[in-house]
Amino acid sequence: MIYLDGMYVKLKRSTVSGEVIYFVMGINEQGYRHILGFYVGGQESANGWKDVLKDLYNRGVREVLLGVFDGLPGLEEAFREVYPKADVQHIALCIKYARRFRKSGWRTRPIF
């Protein structure tokens, strides 16, 4: 299973601007989490995710059973282009919103 999410942060280059950090986490059959990559660049888009997914595939992430991500337009098509046999699950709660729930007393549960 791989989990995909983008998070905007302010970066200072020649000027300060918001850029996306593409975050990819994998979870193996034993339930162990592995950070597969952080990619910085521009605005979150399906084309950006397609480049990230192709890079993961070229680095050896060949067999993915489930992709978990939000409803960004075009992301599911980009995911299925690289991993056509994988199932897809859309999530309503992303990492960027999870901090709000933790501060309000919401508890997280184990993945398995």
31-81 pLDDT, tens digit each:
899 999 999 988 889 999 999 999 999 999 999 999 999 888 999 999 999
Label residue 12 by pLDDT band (50, 70, 90): confident
- For the chain, give every domain's residue range: 2-103
Residue 96 pLDDT greater than 90, yes or no = no
Residue in the structure block whose two tokens are 């998070």: 7
CATH of 2-103, one of 1.10.10, 1.10.150, 3.30.420, 3.30.450: 3.30.420
Query: Beta partners for 5?
Result: 23
For the chain, what is the largest distance between any 2 Cα atoms, rounded to a whole number of angstroms?
44
Q: Secondary structure of the chain in the HEC alphabet?
A: CEEEEEEEEEEECCCEEEEEEEEEEEECCCCCEEEEEEEECCCCCHHHHHHHHHHHHHCCCCCCCEEEECCCCCHHHHHHHHCCCCEEEECCCCHHHHHHHHHCCCCCCCCC
Percent of the chain predicted with pLDDT > 90: 57
